[in-house]
């Protein structure tokens, strides 16, 4: 830490410009004082300090006092999105996660410096076995031992980064990587170097706009051709003054999205838009936006204090960030920050959403309204919902736009959406070595591997493979290529992704990875080195909890980390025995996009079930594969001289794909899955013979979906055969009772959720006594009269709800309704919708809806009246 001022001074002198700003991230304790008063005292002694010897602590204090440093807890790094720094200092290595690495490193400009501060260690290899803070969440009662595969791969990847150096506390360069021995000076910049084609096009574009205001002065602020074209498109949308259009801007990090938005809003001020709202996850994320908004106003001839004023937040959490700009020239105009959760946008003509991928999707959807919208988002990197935004929201806007173009329905459209993309980097040069290293190490820019076959591989020839994680994350060349393939398929198939998923996959002891591969074939005369992946499964083993642990946790109303399904089910059904069972939760299942909808996902699940039921394993095979992870001993971690240490991938690695028949599996009681409920996914899991047992009442904040847990009982163990049936029966009853309060659950999805496709004998017939608990004599007479009416007639509303519950909880086995009758009954009887609303939802005539209801409900009412028999006279 004491050498940081020296490194910062070297960075300052490397280029003639302002002293680099510093981002200093840490977990809890800085290790020195950052008190402002103490800094002022040191500044007063600046002249004396320059002539006297400074001890190490004083040099740090003086560096802190004289440098623009943004201190940030790791837990608050979401607030630095969209900002740029010259230097990043990452303290407390054990607190780092892939998400934190991506957030912080991506804020450093080209030519900047990133420092990773390590505690006193004698060997870099000691980081291979360092216990990370996140590991506490990976441990479960049955799986305690963690292997730090991610750390090893992280360090090995640094040895291949030509812009990385390992140094000791005396700034001696450690010859750990080969490029450290051949450092070459960077060639001096030549101011008369020829322009690239893109640079020349940008100059020509700026020249062609001369005299076109406000476009000319604002485009002159742009750094790349992409950015200039985006600003021009924004200005075109503003000039049309169509308050029902949306312009989306997506790109990677450091491409100038926020700056383009700021310049566009400056143009909106010039076009007399009076009320402009801007939102982002945190006000500090808008630092660049407001900077370029003010620069744009200055370029347009607005004067600070005379024509406009900025308002800064007094909230200490916002770090004095600008939250409003008031314009007072001719008319009063306002640009104000709003929270993403704000739903009341009165009199807004323009809404700007920056870093939309980091805002929960339901919030973004709620912000959509009858005004012009500029929406910018980073669609790769660390944002957990980046894929959610691109796959869901933008695709939905695109679909609406295409439908409106085809139908010519201009008034009802939300927008004719324009989609813009920025490719050229501003924060760092094209091909930046650090950006490339980060993208490769965290698999941020993975692409789907091309299909090498002309036809679909026959399912009977496809094989399921277990993937050895020691080899997969060894940083071996072939293993890296295969890892990139796996992550690409996972990212393409799931809209909730983050770099942290990579560390969980590599380090979590209960997690395992499988893949379904096509049969190997000849390609250009050579056998394929790596099989073609059709489907990827990430599995987490759960359960095996002791009775003492379960009682201890439940008595305190809490649950330990991991074991998601056992804890939820034990709390849901008050079952203390269920957590002792062994299960496998399907964390993620992803099929290659070119092979989706062809049954490979179901095939992979079937083969996985066979594996955990012990159908592959051969007991008499003496060559059983040892699945214990590779572990370093203390001697391998110690070196006598750090200057002699070498880092390289392990020479001897186990097979990447050990045969399943040589792996002794954990024989399980069940397989389960927890996912965001949708009609498509529910259909898939029901087809795989999984049964729903839990539905969360509160929707997920990121996606707005309700989490659904489904289970499938396995035949590998001799357990009681009726525990799952009772869970499903109770779930169906609870869902029917509470479904009205769930978040906008559609009738088709609700019907599929409670429909019974199992043996009807698993449910008890409705008894006369049970009917009388819910219906009195008057209600039964009403039902009898309804059944006797030949024309249209309607029963009491309360009776409709009670009988609908009888039917959908499978208590009336003799009643068979058509699909349309069930849909109408679910909507009218359970979801309490009006016939008009049902007709609108299904696109059916109102008379048809009434007819379907009368026909279906008469079948149910007749059955109930028949059961009661002599009670109805």
Q: Binding site for acetyl-CoA: which residues?
A: 589-591, 687
Q: Are 232 and 212 in contact (CB under 8 A)?
A: no
- Residues 604-625 as b or e (16 or more Cβ within 10 Å = b): bbebbbbbbbbebbeeeeeeeb
Rounded CA gap, 4 and 7, in Å? 5
Q: Could you tell me which residues are annotated as the binding site for ATP?
A: 254-263, 427
Report the DSSP beta bridge partners of residue 540. 511, 585
Sign of the four-CA dihedral 328, 331, 337, 338:
positive
161, exposed or middle or buried, with CB in 10 Å at 0-12, 13-18, 19+? middle
- Terminal Cα distance for the chain, rounded: 91
Rounded CA gap, 346 and 542, in Å? 50
SS3 content of the chain, % helix, strand, coil (to 5): 45, 15, 40
291, exposed or middle or buried, with CB in 10 Å at 0-12, 13-18, 19+? middle
- Token reading at 353: 């959403």
214: preceding bond cis by omega (within 30 degrees): yes
Nearest to 8 by CA among 20, 26, 25: 20
Q: Which helix (H) or strand (E) holds 353?
A: strand 350-353
Q: Could you tell me which residues are annotated as the binding site?
A: 254-263, 427, 589-591, 687
Helix (H, G, I), strand (E, B) or coil at 280: coil
How many CA atoms, within 13 angstroms, populate the side-chain half-sphere of residue 361? 21
Nearest to 288 by CA among 378, 372, 367: 378
Q: What is the 3-state secondary structure (H, E, C) of 226-254?
A: HHHHHHHHHHHHHHHCCCCCEEEEEECCC
Task: Give, as one character, the DSSP assignment of residue 147.
Answer: -
Helix (H, G, I), strand (E, B) or coil at 644: helix
Helix (H, G, I), strand (E, B) or coil at 549: helix
112, exposed or middle or buried, with CB in 10 Å at 0-12, 13-18, 19+? buried
Rounded CA gap, 604 and 459, in Å? 10
Nearest to 124 by CA among 146, 142, 140, 148: 148
Q: Where are the beta strands (DSSP E) in 47-105?
A: 69-73, 85-90
For helices 149-159 and 500-507, what crossing angle results, to 10°? 120
Helix (H, G, I), strand (E, B) or coil at 535: strand
**Region class of 748: left (phi > 0), else alpha (psi between -120 and 50), else beta:** alpha
Q: Report the greatest alpha carbon distance in the chain.
A: 110
List strands edge to edge, sheet with 707-713: 463-467, 511-517, 533-543, 582-591, 670-676, 707-713, 691-695
- Token reading at 346: 């009165």
Report the DSSP pairing between strands 246-251 and 372-378: parallel
Tell me, rounded to whole angstroms, the distance of Cα 593 from its chain centroid: 19
Rounded CA gap, 651 and 745, in Å? 55
Rounded CA gap, 768 and 824, in Å? 26
Residue 429's CB: how many other CB atoms inside 10 A? Answer: 12
């Amino acid at each position: 830490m004491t050498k940081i001022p020296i490194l910062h001074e070297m960075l300052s002198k490397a280029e003639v410009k302002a002293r680099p700003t510093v981002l200093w991230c840490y977990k809890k304790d800085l290790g020195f004082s950052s008190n402002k008063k103490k800094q002022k005292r040191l500044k007063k002694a600046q002249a004396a300090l320059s002539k006297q010897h400074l001890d190490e602590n004083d040099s740090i204090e003086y560096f802190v006092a004289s440098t623009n440093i943004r201190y940030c807890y790791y837990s608050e790094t979401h607030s630095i999105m969209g900002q740029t720094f010259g230097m990043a200092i990452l303290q407390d290595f054990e607190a780092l996660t892939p998400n934190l690495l991506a957030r912080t490193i991506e804020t450093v400009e080209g030519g900047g410096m990133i420092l990773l501060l390590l505690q006193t260690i004698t060997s870099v290899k000691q980081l291979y076995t360092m216990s990370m803070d996140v590991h506490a969440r990976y441990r479960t009662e049955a799986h305690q031992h963690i292997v730090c595969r991610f750390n090893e791969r992280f360090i090995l990847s640094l040895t291949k980064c030509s812009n990385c150096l390992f140094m000791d506390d005396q700034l001696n360069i450690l010859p750990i990587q080969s490029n450290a021995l051949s450092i070459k000076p960077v060639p001096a910049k030549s101011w008369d170097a020829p322009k690239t084609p893109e640079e020349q096009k940008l100059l020509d574009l700026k020249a062609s706009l001369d005299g076109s205001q406000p476009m000319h002065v604002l485009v002159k602020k742009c750094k790349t051709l992409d950015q200039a074209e985006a600003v021009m498109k924004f200005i075109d949308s503003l000039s049309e003054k169509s308050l029902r259009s949306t312009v989306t801007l997506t790109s990677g990090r450091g491409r100038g999205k926020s700056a383009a938005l700021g310049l566009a809003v400056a143009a909106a001020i010039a076009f007399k838009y009076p009320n402009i709202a801007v939102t982002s996850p945190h006000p500090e994320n808008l630092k660049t936006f407001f900077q370029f908004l003010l620069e744009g106003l200055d370029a347009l001839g607005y004067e600070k204090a005379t024509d406009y004023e900025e308002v800064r937040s007094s909230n200490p959490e916002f770090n004095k960030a600008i939250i409003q700009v008031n314009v007072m020239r001719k008319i009063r105009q306002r640009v104000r920050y709003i929270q993403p959760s704000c739903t009341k946008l009165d009199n807004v003509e323009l809404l700007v959403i920056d870093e939309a991928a980091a805002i929960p999707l339901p919030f973004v959807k709620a912000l959509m309204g009858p005004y012009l919208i500029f929406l910018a988002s980073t669609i790769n990197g660390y944002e957990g919902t980046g894929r959610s935004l691109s796959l869901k929201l933008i695709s939905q806007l695109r679909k609406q736009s295409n439908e409106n173009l085809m139908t010519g329905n201009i008034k009802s459209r939300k927008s004719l959406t324009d989609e813009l993309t920025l490719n050229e980097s501003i924060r760092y040069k094209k091909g930046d070595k650090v950006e490339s290293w980060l993208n490769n190490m965290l698999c941020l820019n993975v692409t789907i591997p091309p299909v090498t076959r002309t036809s679909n591989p026959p399912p009977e020839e496809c094989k399921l493979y277990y993937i050895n994680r020691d080899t997969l994350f060894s940083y071996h060349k072939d293993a890296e290529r295969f890892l990139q393939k796996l992550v690409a398929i996972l990212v393409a198939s799931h809209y909730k992704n983050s770099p942290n998923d990579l560390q969980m996959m590599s380090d979590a002891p209960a997690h395992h990875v499988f893949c379904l591969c096509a049969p190997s074939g000849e390609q250009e005369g050579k056998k394929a080195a790596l099989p073609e992946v059709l489907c990827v499964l990430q599995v987490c083993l759960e359960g095996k909890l002791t009775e003492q642990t379960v009682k201890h946790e439940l008595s305190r109303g809490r649950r330990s980390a991991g074991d998601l399904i056992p804890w939820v089910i034990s709390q849901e059904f008050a079952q203390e025995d269920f957590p002792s069972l062994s299960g496998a939760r399907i964390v993620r299942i992803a099929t290659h996009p070119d092979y989706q909808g062809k049954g490979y996902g179901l095939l992979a699940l079937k083969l996985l079930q066979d594996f955990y039921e012990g159908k592959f394993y051969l007991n008499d095979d003496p060559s059983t594969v040892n699945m214990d992870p590779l572990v370093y001993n203390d001697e391998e971690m110690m070196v006598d001289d750090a200057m002699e240490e070498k880092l390289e991938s392990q020479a001897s690695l186990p097979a990447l794909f050990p045969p399943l028949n040589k792996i002794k599996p954990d024989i399980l009681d069940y397989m389960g899955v927890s996912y965001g409920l949708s009609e498509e996914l529910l259909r898939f899991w029901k087809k795989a013979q999984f049964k729903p047992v839990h539905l969360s009442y509160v929707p997920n904040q990121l996606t707005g979906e309700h989490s659904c847990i489904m289970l499938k009982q396995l035949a590998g163990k001799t357990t009681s055969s009726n525990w799952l049936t009772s869970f499903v029966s109770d779930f169906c009853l609870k869902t029917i009772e509470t479904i009205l309060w769930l978040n906008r659950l559609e009738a088709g999805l609700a019907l599929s959720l409670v429909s019974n496709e199992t043996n009807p004998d698993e449910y008890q017939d409705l008894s006369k006594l049970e009917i009388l608990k819910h219906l009195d004599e008057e209600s039964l007479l009403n039902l009898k009269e309804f059944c006797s009416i030949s024309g249209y007639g309607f029963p009491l509303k309360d009776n409709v709800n009670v009988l609908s519950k009888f039917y959908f909880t499978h208590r009336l086995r003799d009643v068979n309704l058509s699909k349309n009758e069930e849909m109408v009954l679910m909507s009218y009887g359970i979801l309490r919708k009006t016939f008009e609303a049902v007709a609108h939802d299904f696109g059916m005539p109102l008379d048809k809806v009434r007819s379907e209801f009368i026909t279906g409900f008469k079948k149910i009412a007749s059955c109930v009246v028949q059961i009661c028999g002599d009670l109805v006279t």
